[in-house]
Structure 1
Amino acid sequence: MEWMFSLIGLFSIYSIIPTILIRSFSYRIVKRKPKDKQFALTFDDGPHPVYTSRLLDLLKEFDMKATFFVVTTNARRHPEIIQRMRDEGHEIGVHHDEHISTWVMTPFQVGKQLRRSREAIIELTGDTPVYYRPPWGHFNISTLFVVKPFQVVMWSDIFQDWKLSMGKNRLARNMRSRLSDGAIFVLHDNGDTFGADQEAPEMMLEALEQFLPYVKERGYKSVTVRTLLQDT
């Protein structure tokens, strides 16, 4: 029994405690940057062949830009979507090559995920990614050393849009209530990841159809993380 408690203690020191400390104190991570009438829509876990394409259509309709933290195993399957993101002025960041938590990876494994993702994005777009968001927002004790080439971008607001139980109307209402200068919203354009409802991105898109007209009415604009973080 003692070995079990020791194992739990070591796991906590390696993973859970660093995650709590980094996120609580915003150590070397970005959660928001106040900028008048600008905020950032960000999307994790894609691309998805159906939902991401429809999302790009919607962003184009309302002249909004976004940042996509892509899983590059998905990106390799759908290179045309990644290229469309770039061509339409969106930012492409690293999530991981596979959607795996850093809690269960060694520093070497995390580095390998980042290298594969970086290489895939360069190959698909010609651009070098500079932004990183870990899956589930998980860190381990070595993460901030391993990810030094990247700026870690978290979020100011997360909406549980991966669950159909949220409902499109409540999701749209929650986003309206949290719209503010410099906010960074995280949503998900792929429901195939562990813990998500597969059809949840459909609900997310329907909520965005309600939310984006509200954004324009209020004089706000979604911009890429790069634009948001630039000093003016």
Structure 2
Amino acid sequence: MKYNRLLCAGIAVSLLWVSPCPILSNEQNTSYASPAPAKGRAYYEERGDIVWEVPTHRKLIALTFDDGPDVSNTPAILDLLRKYDAKATFFVVGSRVEKLPHLVKREREEGHEIGNHTFLHSSFQHISRNKALSELDQGQASIVQATGAGTHLFRPPGGSYNDSLVKLAKEKGLKIILWSWHQDTLDWRKPGVHRIANKVLRNARNGDIVLMHDFVHHSTQTVEALKIILPELKKRGYSFVTVSELLSNREKPDGLIEVNK
């Protein structure tokens, strides 16, 4: 009985001890993004740290294309955008920009917007601050080299983010742009032309930011879907604008246009 009482007392004491969490003081152990951030979307959205979509009563939509440029899909998309008098935003991967700088130059010359999608499309989940800085800086440098000017827009691969990445983006003068949750076409999965088109058309709302890709290995589904999406939304009265143009049309609850700083 005495042994049992001592054992129970020991267990009770052990339950009261909570081991402290380790502090990540070494930058090599610091994670710069998380697929499930501790703070919710509303926190970052209200502070203007991250943009998912833009409240506006105007029939404006921002088409965005990730992971390019691509030697065949990007020119085809640019041709379609020009045909329908549409502007878009291309979040480019620096290592691909270096191989196809003329396409990124063409994007900018034709009135489209360029965004930084890192240099190697590296995940920010488990990389050091130095590596994260390198990804951003090299991505920016590739855009400057190709077009003569940088960008103030950044989209992290996979849409992953946390406080550390938000802080880093601010330090570099970059605005984090994600996409409307109801406008993720999942075109990288090659789901079929009509599934991609229907995702956009059935969910189209003012101020949407649509996620597509101009580089999907061995697939032209996005190009073919655009042949359906662009004329249909134009028929509905929508205009296709860059992300920055969409941000400049942000409306406050009272209906006034906010000045995008």
- Mapped to 1, the partners of 2:40 and 2:67 lie a distance apart of 22
Across the aligned residues of Structure 1 and Structure 2, the Cα RMSD in angstroms comes to 2.3
Question: What is the TM-score when the length of structure 2 is the normalising length?
Answer: 0.77
Alpha-carbon contact 2:32-2:125 (below 8 Å) kept:
yes
**Alpha-carbon offset, residue 122 of structure 1:** 1.4
Task: Rate the CA distance shift 1:136–1:214 in 2: closer, same or farther, 3 A.
Answer: same
CA deviations over 1:82-127 (Å, ceiling 9, x no partner): 1100110000010001111101211211111111111221121122
Asked whether 1:178 is paired with 2:203, we answer yes
CA distance in structure 1 between the partners assigned to 2:179 and 2:43 by the alignment: 13
Moved more, 41-50 or 170-179: 170-179
Deviations 1:146-203 (A, max 9, x none): 1111011000021111112x21112111110111110000101112xxxxxx223x01
- Kindly state the Cα deviation for residue 21 of structure 1 after the two structures are TM-superposed: 2.9
Letter of the structure 2 residue corresponding to residue 31 of structure 1: W
Pair 1:19-2:37 in alignment: yes
C-alpha displacement of 1:18: 5.7
Find the counterpart in structure 1 of residue 225 from structure 2: 207
Q: Of the candidates 100, 122, 142, which is equivalent to residue 122 of structure 2?
A: 100
> Could you say which residue in structure 2 is the equivalent of 1:162?
188
**Aligned partner of residue 90 in structure 2, secondary structure:** strand
Give the 5 Å matches for 1:1-232: 15-16=33-34, 19=37, 21=39, 23=41, 25-27=43-45, 28-35=49-56, 36-148=58-170, 149-156=173-180, 157-164=183-190, 166-191=191-216, 198-200=217-219, 202-231=220-249, 232=257
Q: Decide whether the 8 Å contact of 1:45 with 1:190 is kept in 2.
A: yes
Gaps of 5+ in 2: 1-23, 250-256
- On the 8 A contact 2:31/2:125 being kept in 1, the answer is no
Number of residues of Structure 1 aligned to a counterpart in Structure 2: 217
TM-score with structure 1 length normalisation?
0.86
Contact persistence 1:94–1:114 (CA under 8 A)? yes
State the Cα deviation string for residues 30-64 of structure 1 (Å, max 9, x = none).
01112301010001000001111111011111110
Displacement of 1:214: 0.5
**C-alpha separation between the residues in 2 aligned to 1:222 and 1:14?**
32
CA contact (8 A) 2:30 2:127 kept: no
Are the aligned partners of 2:155 and 2:178 in contact in 1 as well (CA < 8 Å)? yes
Query: Identity of paired residues, percent?
Result: 35
Rg (Cα) greater in structure: 2
Flag the structure with higher helix content. Answer: 1
The answer to whether the Cα contact below 8 Å between 1:13 and 1:141 also exists between their aligned partners in 2 is no
Cα distance, 1:23 vs. partner?
A: 4.1
Kept after mapping to 2: 8 A contact 1:47/1:74: yes
Query: Aligned in 2, Cα 1:12/1:80: closer, same or farther, shift over 3 Å?
Result: closer
- Residue 22 (structure 1) shift: 5.2
Give me the whole-angstrom Cα distance separating, in 2, the residues matched to 1:125 and 1:38: 26
